[in-house]
Structure 1
């Protein structure tokens, strides 16, 4: 078959949407020009709202710092001892309180994410303590604060804007008697923390204290604001005009400001209305053309792919897209061909995985069966060993039973046996046990005639009967074991019951957990767990098992199996 010439649909997908997008862009630009002033007002208000939120956060931080210092001077033993400092007493006597204050400052500094460092100053001792997140790298700040405190130039109960080594800081100080506490916050990191440095604001954000010191980076604007103050609404510097917005902190001693350049006012253009009208009409006329093109080039091939996936999802694994009926050769055609190829590969993989799973299950089933077979051999040999030489007739009878028992075991090379044969084997096993326990054991093994020919896994019933003898025969009273099989509601119902004391609560809980979850229980014998797992594998988890204690006493095991495995 001659290969069709490949023609990419990429260019076709791009050209028409590009025309539509250009048209929409022109309309958007015109609409933006007309609505610019309204947008400017909304953005300005949004910026002020963001600024108000940032100011509130800083107010809250200052309030928290002030509250922590007040708590210190009212409750700390260190403060009281150092506040009453006696100059005649060596300072070494106060080292312990100085260390406690230093530790307290360290905890404060680590708790304030925005604060670079905190300090405490005792005037009566001329003692200045610094601690912070990076206190070692702020020596210039240390020197500034120390100099201001010693010269008495530092204003208390005040937020100040200071510039140290080319960087702006917020310096907060407050005096509590002879004790002074404070902190410093780098403006740059504060802006970043409060989201004021991301360039989303229309203007320039600044902070100003009550002395008109501010953080504006432009020297001209900075000098102008220091001279005129925060109250100035309209600002003109170097021929540029700005609108100044201000927000006052709760303490009233510092402000957040926003300088916005005055936007140029757009004039009205009468021709714009006609241009917009023409563009809108052309755009409306292009819509049907665009829809037809999208239907033919995109929607229809996608529907073909979608229909194919629905067919596969409904179970029709052999369905393939009829690619030979498609005239064009483009990306969609190649995608459909690849879809058909993938489905062929998936079918082959599914068959391979199914065969592998069967082999794994057969291997596991054989292993579990081998675990079960040796279990009774040891018990049987031990039983014969216990006989006295005078009990020759009983030993002879036991040998006949054991011969019949082991003949059945040795010939087990299949996954299923007739229920009648397996129940006869269980009866043989119970005859052996009765010869051992005599009057302490009796049993009934019965099955309905219509279920005698049903195939069941061998040795499953015997496993539960062994469990009855192992735990219930220890009682002084005579033990009765009932093994019954009948058809109920279209399924095979097997029941193994005894008249002993029943399962212990711990054992019953372990069996029920394994029945419900199929997770091996450490405190439960391997026989019952393997028997249940064998039935899971053979019946593909179509097994229902119920384990309980009868109200009148005794253990009850009920197994429901499909009549036809």
Structure 2
């Protein structure tokens, strides 16, 4: 994080790539410096354990095979029948061939002949007996004669092993004697397949095994080492593993060159390095795909936001995905559409308010002059004893002051009804008492606040249109009462009424967002109510031809109705949205 801040990278894609490079470098560093050493030590340890176990297993097998051979050799040596026939030969009590036949029968009773190539018995002063053989012998060689002549009661039970290298042959010899009397020498040649089995033993790729007896090598793949001292093995470099056989103190030694273990370690490290690089490559590809999947829709959203900041509220971000970004894009499009609608609505209401202000300004032309003039006319009429006309002037002056003042645009029901009564008083004088009116206002709502002069335009419409052809006189009732959270006013007249078509046309004009031609009074009332109270409130009309008209006004009940609460709250929330519309207005 400090590195990214220091480089001042603002692109998310570059941050992802930088983090990938940093983490990859750390992984490769640890692999080269720590993991390879750790893995090398583990491989070395496992290899030593494996070689040790392999040599042990080979040693167990060799031990078992030679023990079976030793068992057969001892059976022959200790076979009394064989001893008796050898005595009879020496004493000329039996024919040599008959004795040989009888002894051969005893030999074939053995169970492990498959591990033996040749079995010979060399009787004292007689030619060799070929009992079980692959290649017979007819004369005693010099070495065998020396062994036969070296018989000593102290060494009568010795096991004599010898190894020949050409061809490779392991031979075991034992004296056959009875009560100290030498009867002959038993010679057994170990089967060549046992030696070939040891030749085929795999100890790694280049490792070898060596069989040692009495510190002398009796088997090695390198035949030049056979019959040499065990110390020669110290000249061979590599890892050495030794296993001591239970058979006459023999020892099996395994030697594996160090280069083989190093090569294995290097191969494994190369494989691991390739795997690490492959994994990092896969992670890099995954990171790039993930960054692309994240950044592409994000760029779309940022582009849409920039266009909105530039003032383009007709932005619609196209979406072809079906994921979390789709939800964000959907909400963004919905928000822009709503903001656009809100700005248009507020802008039109601002225009409406400005138009009303202009009309108000026109009605304020030198109001003090009008007040003073009306006061002067009023006192002149009083001085001439024309109190009725003076009273009209006084009421007109009050109405004028009430309608054009800006101190309180929201007044109590009682105040507004008082001025409405003044207005109807003048109109009744105008129509020479043919216009009758009455008020039925529930006292419980008299202190509730409503917009000033909200009901008067409806009364004006009734006088203007309902009593257009007034003959018998008209009647107007103003009824006000509370109903749960609402205030309801009824303006009822007995005028000419309206047809169904006229009523539909009037409703159509009232629903328009902009001022139409004709019916501006009731349209303004409807717009003011919806602006201040919401779409659930407004004006409704019930009328029939020659049956009069009933206009119902539904407002929200509010005792603390103040202009600053409604206007400042509404305009402060939308002021920033309509800044660009003020110049047009």
TM-score of the superposition, structure 2-length normalised? 0.34
- Bigger Cα Rg: 2
